[in-house]
């Protein structure tokens, strides 16, 4: 604990509506956090433009600012990861601090450190009402691993930060399926509660899922192949994917598994992913819908070709119009439709057709609709599409939740309520 700072956190009586979607947990209103140093584990992992390096959109940053505003009078320390090691979006959070400052209307301090002397000094010097953003948590080796709660408590990252904070607000619903140290490590060390993003997600999902019905159609795109394969397994096992429409990089993996595409995808663990996709197709061949045609860049322009006619070395950047028509038809007949990951590189206008068209099909359907992931949230904003029943910046976490899996972040909040809610 920081020198001279009282560790007392007053726990208020929990009202019944604080028990969100059958998950007993404390919320910000249950703790007296005024003047306290509060670590907010957020997820402001934001799409980064592949050419300019600019942040593509700011939805997740806007969301966490709601939580920061609810902590007015506290000494707020925000921590988040950004991107993955080795990828083009693995960057510092300096620009994120600038955007947070714009949204909050006041200066958000930023330190190029996570738990070293510079970060700890910046935390200790905070005054009531001030906000500090730490640098990318994944710049530390420990945050790139997953741990049990007991192991996470012993990491340098958590053990050092916990001595300089009085409470923790877990608000990273998008990362709720990861047992990273900053997700699961604080619950037993300091009073820990849910932030406004987590609170809103669980309440909204409870309402949406009470109206769901079959048939269940899942549309999966994006570049996170292993995450998508795990999502398919989870959703199919929980009977939430009668039809799986595949596009993006994961669509190419299935095309390769079906022998319809022979190019090199350049994806991590490509061989294993193709083998796994082949097994899925063999076990349940009628469940999966693969792209019929794709869009590539040829002579600087969009060119649509059948999946068997993709030129060697060509980069597939979107689905084609035949695929869009077929997928849209299936979406129209859905009872519940879940879409995660963009079908193409929608950041570029000439390759935005698939993403825009399929999102429009989802919004115009009579199905209970759920759209997830930071990229699709950005796309909805970019194209001005509304009418979705639930929009979440979470991707893999939402998939796991829909599939009935336990989320480490929710487990941490329940443990915290058990320990700190009875005091």
CB atoms within 10 A of CB 72: 11
Number of domains the chain contains: 2
Q: Among residues of the chain, what percentage have pLDDT more than 70?
A: 94
Relative to beta strand 131-133, strand 192-194 is unpaired
Instruction: Work out the average pLDDT over 341-347.
Output: 93
Q: What is the largest CA-CA distance in the chain?
A: 70
Same domain for 43 and 185, yes or no, is yes
Same domain for 187 and 245, yes or no, is no
Same domain for 222 and 179, yes or no, is no
Say how far apart CA 182 and CA 179 lie, in whole Å.
Answer: 8
C-alpha 55: how far from its chain's center?
16
Same domain for 220 and 110, yes or no, is no
Per-residue model confidence (pLDDT) at position 206: 83
Instruction: Work out the average pLDDT over 172-183.
Output: 96
Same domain for 169 and 227, yes or no, is no
pLDDT at 3 over 50: no
Q: Among residues of the chain, what percentage have pLDDT more than 90?
A: 70
Instruction: Work out the average pLDDT over 50-60.
Output: 84
Q: How confident is the model at residue 58 (pLDDT cuts 50, 70, 90)?
A: confident
| H/E element, 255 | helix 248-257
pLDDT at 267 over 60: yes
In a domain, 286, yes or no: yes
Q: How confident is the model at residue 14 (pLDDT cuts 50, 70, 90)?
A: very low
In a domain, 373, yes or no: yes
Q: Rg of the chain's alpha carbons, rounded to an integer?
A: 22
In a domain, 247, yes or no: yes
Name 17's Cβ contacts closer than 8 Å, sequence gap at least 6. none
How long, in residues, is the chain?
423
In a domain, 400, yes or no: no
Q: Can you list the alpha helix ranges (DSSP code H) found in 76-166?
A: 94-104, 117-124, 149-153, 156-162
Per-residue model confidence (pLDDT) at position 285: 84
Listed in order, strand segments (DSSP E) in 99-233 are 108-110, 131-133, 167-170, 192-194, 216-220
Identify whether the C-beta of residue 176 lies closer than 8 Å to the C-beta of residue 46.
no
Per-residue model confidence (pLDDT) at position 8: 52
Coil, strand or helix at 382: helix
Tokens 């022998």 identify what position? 259
C-alpha 57: how far from its chain's center?
14
| H/E element, 368 | strand 368-372
Same domain for 64 and 132, yes or no, is yes
CB atoms within 10 A of CB 151: 16
Say how far apart CA 242 and CA 420 lie, in whole Å.
Answer: 42
Per-residue model confidence (pLDDT) at position 422: 63
Q: Kindly tell me the burial class for residue 67, based on how many C-beta atoms sit within 10 Å of its own C-beta (0-12, 13-18, 19 or more).
A: buried
Identify whether the C-beta of residue 42 lies closer than 8 Å to the C-beta of residue 168.
no
Taking each continuous run of H as one helix and of E as one strand, the counts in the chain are 15, 15
Same domain for 176 and 260, yes or no, is no
Tokens 């050092």 identify what position? 160
CATH of the domain at 140: 3.40.50.1260
In a domain, 326, yes or no: yes
Same domain for 20 and 158, yes or no, is yes
Same domain for 153 and 220, yes or no, is no
Say how far apart CA 413 and CA 24 lie, in whole Å.
Answer: 8
Residue span of the structural domain in which 329 resides:
212-388
Per-residue model confidence (pLDDT) at position 22: 66
CB atoms within 10 A of CB 3: 6
Q: How confident is the model at residue 215 (pLDDT cuts 50, 70, 90)?
A: very high
Instruction: Work out the average pLDDT over 148-170.
Output: 98
In a domain, 117, yes or no: yes
Name 112's Cβ contacts closer than 8 Å, sequence gap at least 6. 92, 94, 118, 135
pLDDT at 262 over 90: no
Same domain for 122 and 221, yes or no, is no
Strand partners, 79: 41
Say how far apart CA 398 and CA 376 lie, in whole Å.
Answer: 13
Instruction: Work out the average pLDDT over 40-65.
Output: 89
Same domain for 217 and 194, yes or no, is no
């Amino acid at each position: 604990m920081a020198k001279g700072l009282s560790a007392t956190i007053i726990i208020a009586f929990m009202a019944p509506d604080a028990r969100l979607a059958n998950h007993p947990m404390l919320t910000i209103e249950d703790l007296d956090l005024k003047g306290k140093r509060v670590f907010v584990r957020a997820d402001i992992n934001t799409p980064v433009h592949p050419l300019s390096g600019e942040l593509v959109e700011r939805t997740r940053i806007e969301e966490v600012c709601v939580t920061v505003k609810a902590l007015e009078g506290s000494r707020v320390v925000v921590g988040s990861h950004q991107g993955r090691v080795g990828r083009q979006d693995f960057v510092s959070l300096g620009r994120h601090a600038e955007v947070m400052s714009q949204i909050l209307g006041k200066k958000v301090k930023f330190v190029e450190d996570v738990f070293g002397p510079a970060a700890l000094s910046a935390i200790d010097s905070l005054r009531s009402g001030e906000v500090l953003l730490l640098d990318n948590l994944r710049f530390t080796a420990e945050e790139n691993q997953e741990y049990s709660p007991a192991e996470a408590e012993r990491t340098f990252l958590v053990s050092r930060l916990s001595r300089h904070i009085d409470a923790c607000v877990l608000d990273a619903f998008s990362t709720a399926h990861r047992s990273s140290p900053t997700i699961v490590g604080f619950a037993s060390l300091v009073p820990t509660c849910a932030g406004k993003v987590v609170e809103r997600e669980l309440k909204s999902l409870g309402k949406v899922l009470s109206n769901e019905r079959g048939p269940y159609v899942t549309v999966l795109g994006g570049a996170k192949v292993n995450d998508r394969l795990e999502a398919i397994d989870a959703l199919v096992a929980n009977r939430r994917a009668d039809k799986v429409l595949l596009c993006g990089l994961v669509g190419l993996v299935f095309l390769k598994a079906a022998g319809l595409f022979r190019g090199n995808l350049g994806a991590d663990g490509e061989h294993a992913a193709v083998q796994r996709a082949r097994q899925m197709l063999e076990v349940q061949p009628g469940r999966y819908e693969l792209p019929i045609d794709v869009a590539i860049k040829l002579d600087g322009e969009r060119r649509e070709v059948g999946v068997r006619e993709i030129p060697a070395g060509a980069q597939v950047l979107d689905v084609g119009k035949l695929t869009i028509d077929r997928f849209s038809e299936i979406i129209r007949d859905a009872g519940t439709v879940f879409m995660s990951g963009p079908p193409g590189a929608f950041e570029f206008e000439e390759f935005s057709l698939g993403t825009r068209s399929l999102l429009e099909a989802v919004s115009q359907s009579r199905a209970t609709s759920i759209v997830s992931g930071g990229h699709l949230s950005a796309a909805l904003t970019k194209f001005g599409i509304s009418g979705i029943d639930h929009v979440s910046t979470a991707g893999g976490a939402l998939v796991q939740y829909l599939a009935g899996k336990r989320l480490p972040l929710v487990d941490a909040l329940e443990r915290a309520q058990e320990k700190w809610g009875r005091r």
